[in-house]
Amino acid sequence: MSRQPSLTQSMSALHTWAGLVLGWLLFAIFLTGTLAVFDRELTWWMQPELQDRQVDQASAVQVAQRWLAANQRDASAWNIGLPTARDPSLSVSAGEQRRGQRTLIDAESGEQITPRETAGGSFFFRFHYTLHMPRFLGIWVVGFAAMAMLVAIISGIIIHKKIFKDFFTFRPVKGQRSWLDGHNASAVLLLPFHLMITYTGLVIFFLIYMPAATDALYGGDRDALLRELRPDAQQQQGARRGEGGRPSREVQTASAAMLPLDHFITLGEAHYGAGMLSSLSVAQPGRVNARVEVRPLLGSRLELTKGEALAFNAITGELLRAPPPTRTSLLVQKVMAGLHFAQFGGYPMRWLYFICGLVSSAMIASGLVLYTVKRRRQSAAQGVWLRQVEWLNLACVGGLMLACVALLWANRLLPADLAEREGWELRVFFGAWLAALLHARLRAPLRGWLEQLAASAVLLLGLPLLDLLTALAVPDRIRLGVDLTGLGLGALLALAAWKVSTRPTATVRAARRAPAAMAEVQS
């Protein structure tokens, strides 16, 4: 035997340290990413003032057109966010789309609605890739964690010797053995998902993580690269600047009667399929050069079709520009991004991603717990370090879950007209997390786990009740879905809390069974 550590040993050390140090971050990234699968639904849940009128897009767009014609007749552009299956709200804005303040209107009566301000489900989405840090710093930290995840996955495959023999093996109530089984099985069975989601997550920000090629070939001018990748984009922007950007010079343009906007919904659906449109915009509404753009939902293909549109002449209905096919190099990146964002395949696919994401988060958490379970048995000398890891584990896993539910409760319990309401919701989120951190530091590990799991479970189980008591109307399809999902997750956490509370007896049982288990292993 040489004194150099074997491949398995060094890989094991790598797996342990990459997993432990970044596991805390990775759990936060995976859990919030999983919740972000249903970001629109959560935002809808968090604005109970809005109601699902169940009108089709053609009649909704007429309502929007009437509102805009009455209130924004002279605007340089109109933008209409259409009601969709995931978000049945109808929104309108005037002027440049990015800057304009969105106004929500009732899809039936056309009255303006002012829902409560909220961080919304999009908070989870932003937290997922920036960790609520300044954008670029956050993206770099998350990218670093994702690299560590890849390292942990590959080193994990190397050190897991019996991948196929233990493929379906899970032996509960055996302490460390069970944790290892659970960690292995959730990692191996979902390996395609873990690899895909981590790798594609890195590819989304390829320009930020790997700028060398852009620097070398385009002198660091990222726009130059993008122009070459999408020649039509430049044209499109130029055209938009010419038509919509300087309204003052074009005031003289003669006015003309536009076709009713629902006509373009029909045209758009003919191209993208029924129910696949997300928004419609009109440049120079009511003028002879008026132009309508219809944008699809990001979901008709695997490729992430962001920014794509069909353009029509608003007076004659003539098709001005159809989106050109994407170049292969960009298509690869867009398909990768599409795989990560999961905007395709409808609700069945969304649920697959959600459950896979939950299992991934559980896999990471089980790895973190496994570390402490293993060390606890090994030696008492590491007591101080072990104690630190134990409370950090609890604060990062149990604390984050608690904070996420607390955000939903804060959304409904804070007064609806509170100033800077969004900020207060986030204060509750981070406040709950901080409280969980202190709690984790002060309590004995098992006690702490029990209490935090139970608290999250109670809050989740109470979610339907909270919705019933604080919503203004009977929960619609989407809100009911959020309520029931909360109920299900609450039941899972309650089960986990119950397992923790019965754990001492379990160890005794395991100890009693130990000789039998040894015999089983040897056979």
Residue 75 or 370 with smaller CB distance to other proteins: 370
In terms of CB distance, is 294 or 356 closer to other proteins?
356
Asked if 324 and 307 count as a contact pair (C-beta separation under 8 A), the reply is no
Q: Least distance to other proteins from the beta carbon of 388, Å?
A: 32
Phi-psi region of 273 (alpha: psi -120 to 50; beta: other; left: phi over 0): left
Shortest reach from residue 500's CB to other proteins, in Å? 18
Closer residue to other proteins (CB): 233 or 494? 494
Q: Which is nearer to other proteins, 349 or 373 (CB)?
A: 349
Which lies closer to other proteins via its Cβ, residue 353 or residue 424?
353
CA 174 distance to own-chain centroid: 35
Distance CA 234, CA 223 (A): 10
Q: What is the amino acid identity at position 281?
A: S
Contacting residues toward other proteins, per CB under 8 A: 165, 167-172, 185-186, 189-193, 301-302, 335, 339, 344-345, 348-349, 352-353, 355-356, 359
Task: Considering the complex, state which of residue 345 and residue 383 has its C-beta at the smaller distance from other proteins.
Answer: 345
Instruction: Work out the angle at residue 404's Cα, subtended by the Cα atoms of residues 90 and 194, and round it to the nearest 5 degrees.
Output: 90
In whole angstroms, the minimum distance from the beta carbon of 163 to other proteins comes to: 13
Helices 383-413, 7-36: inter-axial angle, 10-degree rounding? 10
- Structural element, H or E, at residue 333: helix 328-341
Beta carbon of residue 88, minimum distance to other proteins (angstroms, whole number): 21
Min dist CB 337 to other proteins, Å, is 14
Nearer to other proteins, 315 or 355 (CB): 355
Q: Which residues does residue 279 pair with via DSSP β-bridges, in sequence order?
A: 81, 295
Do 130 and 124 form a contact (C-beta atoms < 8 A)? Answer: no
Alpha-carbon distances of 513 from 171, 175, 505, 509, rounded to whole Å: 12, 11, 12, 6
Rounded to a whole number of angstroms, the minimum distance from the CB of residue 458 to other proteins is 24
123 φ, ψ (degrees, to nearest 5): -60, -45
- Helix, strand or coil, per DSSP, at residue 130: helix
d(CA 361, CA 357): 6
Quick one: how far is CA 2 from the chain centroid? 48
C-alpha–C-alpha distance, residues 215 and 96, integer Å: 31
Closest CB 70 distance from other proteins, rounded Å: 41
Least separation in angstroms between CB 506 and other proteins: 14
Q: Which is nearer to other proteins, 33 or 244 (CB)?
A: 33
Least distance to other proteins from the beta carbon of 167, Å?
A: 8
Give the H or E element holding residue 359. Answer: helix 346-378
Nearer to other proteins, 193 or 205 (CB): 193
Cβ distance 44 to 479 under 8 Å? yes
